[in-house]
A and B are shown apart, each in its own frame.
Chain A
Amino acid sequence: MRKKSDQLQGALDLLVLKTLEEGPMHGWGITLHIERTSDALLRVEEGSLYPALHRMEKDGWIDAAWGVSENNRRARFYRLTPKGRRQLAAERQNWERVTGAVAMVLNFGTGTN
Chain B
Amino acid sequence: MRWFRRLFLTFRMKGHQREMEEEIRFHLAMREQRNLDEGIPGDEARRRARIRFGNPVVWMETMSEIDIHIHLRSAIEDLRFGFRQLVRNPIFAVTGVLTLALGIGINTTIFTVADSVLLKPLPWPGADRMVAIYERMPKFGVMNDSWPDYVDWRSQNSVFANMAALQPSSSTVNLRGEDQQVPSVAVTNSFFDVFGVSPILGRAFTSQEAIPGSGLTAVVSYAFWRQFLGAEPSAVGRSIEVDGQAATVVGVLPPGFSIPYGRFEIYLPFGVKTHNPEVADRANHPGLGVVALLRPGVTLAAARTNMAGIMKRLSRSYTQSNRGETVVLTPLRDQFVGGARNILFLLLSATGLVLILACANIANMSLARAAARRREFAVRLSLGASRSRLFRQALIENLPLALLGGASGIGLAALIVHPLVHFYPHRILGLEDARLNAVVFCFAAAVCVTSWLLFGIVPAFAASRRTDAYTSIRTTAPDTHISGHTRLRSSLLVAEIAIALVVTVSTMLVLRSLLAVTRTNPGFRADHLLVLESIHAGSSRGQSAGTIEFFRELLSRLRHLPGVKSASAAMELPLRGVIWTSPYVPDGHPQPPNTQQPWTEINFVMPGYFQTMEMRRLGGRFFSEADSNSAPMAVINETMARSIGVANPVGGQLYVAYAPHATMQIIGVVSDEKQFGLDKHDMPEVYIPATQSPVPVMDIVLRTSSPPEFLANAARLTVHDFAKSRSAPRAVPMEMFLDSNLADRKFVSLLLGLFDVLAVTLALVGVAGVVGYMVEQRTHEIGIRMALGASRTHVMNMILLGQCAKFACLGVAVGIGCAFALTRLLASQLYGVQPSDPLTFVAASIGLMVVTLLASYFPARRATMVDPVVALRCE
Contact = CB atoms under 8 A, between A and B. Distances in A.
B67 A51 contact: no
B52 interface: yes
A12 interface: no
Interface of A is mostly: helix
B53 interface: yes
B30 A28 contact: yes
Interface stretch (A15-23, A70-78, A103-111): A70-78
B40 interface: no
A74 B59 CA distance: 21
Query: Interface residues of B: mostly helix, strand, loop or mixed?
Result: helix
Given A54-B66, A55-B70, A46 B27 contact: yes
Given A1-B1, A50-B59, A51-B63, A69 B27 contact: no
Contacts of A2: 65
A31 B69 CA distance: 25
B19 interface: yes
B247 interface: no
Contacts of A26: 23, 26
B70 A28 contact: no
Contact of B26 (A1, A55, A59, A74): A74
A12 B54 CA distance: 18
Interface in A55-92: 55, 58-59, 69, 71, 73-76
Contact of B63 (A46, A54, A73, A76): A54
Contact of B22 (A48, A54, A55, A74): A74
Interface in A1-32: 1-2, 26-28, 31
B552 interface: no
B200 to A, nearest CB: 56
A27 B66 contact: no
Given A45-B54, A46-B52, A46-B53, A51 B66 contact: yes
Interface string B536-548: 0000000000000
A58 B55 CA distance: 23
Contacts of B55: 47
Contact of A50 (B23, B33, B65, B68): B23
A55 B69 CA distance: 9
For this complex, into which size category does the number of interface residues on chain A fall?
Answer: 20 to 34
A73 B30 CA distance: 10
B216 interface: no
Contacts of B19: 76
Contacts, number: 60
Contacts of A71: 33
Contact of B27 (A27, A45, A59): A27
Find the residue from A27, A31, A54 having the highest chain B CB count within 10 A: A54
Interface in B50-78: 52-55, 58-59, 62-63, 65-70
A56 to B, nearest CB: 10
A73 B58 contact: no
A50 B25 CA distance: 13
B26 A69 contact: yes
Nearest to A52: B66
B31 interface: yes
B176 to A, nearest CB: 75
Contact of A47 (B1, B20, B59, B67): B59
B59 A51 contact: yes
A59 B59 contact: no
Contact of A46 (B1, B54, B65, B68): B54
A46 B59 contact: yes
A8 to B, nearest CB: 14
B29 interface: yes
The interface centre, meaning the residue of A27, A48, A51, A74 with most chain B CB atoms within 10 A of its CB, is A51
Contact of B62 (A28, A31, A51, A74): A51
A76 B65 contact: no
A28 B27 contact: yes
Given A28-B30, A46-B52, A1 B23 contact: no
Interface in B393-442: none
- Specify which of B26, B54, B69 lies most central, judged by the most chain A CB atoms within 10 Å of its CB: B26
Contacts of B54: 45-47
Interface in B375-398: none
A47 B26 contact: no
A78 B784 CA distance: 55
Nearest to B58: A47
Interface string A31-56: 10000000000000111101100110
Nearest to B29: A73
Contacts of B62: 47, 51
A55 B20 CA distance: 14
Given A1-B69, A27-B23, A58-B70, A50 B63 contact: yes
Contact of B23 (A51, A59, A76): A76
A87 to B, nearest CB: 15
Interface of B: 1, 19-20, 22-24, 26-27, 29-31, 33, 52-55, 58-59, 62-63, 65-70
Query: Which 4 residue pairs are nearest across A and B when measured between Cβ atoms?
Result: A28-B30, A51-B62, A47-B54, A54-B63
Given A51-B62, A73-B29, 17 more contacts: A1-B65, A26-B23, A26-B26, A27-B27, A31-B27, A46-B52, A46-B59, A47-B58, A47-B59, A47-B62, A50-B59, A51-B63, A54-B67, A69-B26, A71-B33, A73-B26, A75-B26
16 contacts: A27-B27, A28-B31, A31-B27, A46-B27, A46-B52, A47-B54, A47-B55, A50-B20, A50-B23, A51-B62, A58-B66, A58-B70, A71-B33, A73-B29, A76-B23, A76-B26
